[in-house]
């Protein structure tokens, strides 16, 4: 099957990526720091993303716990 999906842009800025993903810039930086720049190196000042990067960023966003959400303990009957 042929996939006709064409990305809207070839490169996305941090702000554009955060807007596209529906997350804050702070959350994007947290995702990058925890999953990509976690070896002690500093995150570069300006990071750009390709469309394929947005797929991975969305996965990381959905699998990371939200620090603002308090999880309720399991209830046992």
Percent of the chain with pLDDT over 70: 74
Contact between 53 and 10 under an 8 Å Cβ cutoff? The reply is no
Instruction: Report the C-alpha gap between 42 and 28 in whole angstroms.
Output: 15
Strand partners, 12: 49
3 domain residue, yes or no: no
Residue 19 lies in a domain: yes
Q: Which domain holds residue 26?
A: 14-63
18 domain-assigned: yes
**pLDDT at position 34, please?**
87
Q: Average pLDDT of 4-22?
A: 84
Q: How many domains does the chain have?
A: 1
Q: Are 61 and 27 in contact (CB under 8 A)?
A: yes
CA separation for the pair 30, 61 (Å, rounded): 10
| 18 in Cβ contact with 25 (< 8 Å) | yes
Flag whether 74 is in a domain: no
pLDDT in tens, 32-54: 998 888 888 888 988 999 999 99
In a domain, 30, yes or no: yes
Is residue 51 in some structural domain? Answer: yes
Section 17-30 average pLDDT: 94
- Asked if residue 29 is part of any domain, the answer here is yes
């Amino acid at each position: 099957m042929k996939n006709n999906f064409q990305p809207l842009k070839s490169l996305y800025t941090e702000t554009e990526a955060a807007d596209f993903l529906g997350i804050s810039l702070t959350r994007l930086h947290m995702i990058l720091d925890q999953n990509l720049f976690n070896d002690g190196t500093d995150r570069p000042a300006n990071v750009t993303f390709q469309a394929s990067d947005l797929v991975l960023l969305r996965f990381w966003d959905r699998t990371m716990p939200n620090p603002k959400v308090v999880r309720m303990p399991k209830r046992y009957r």
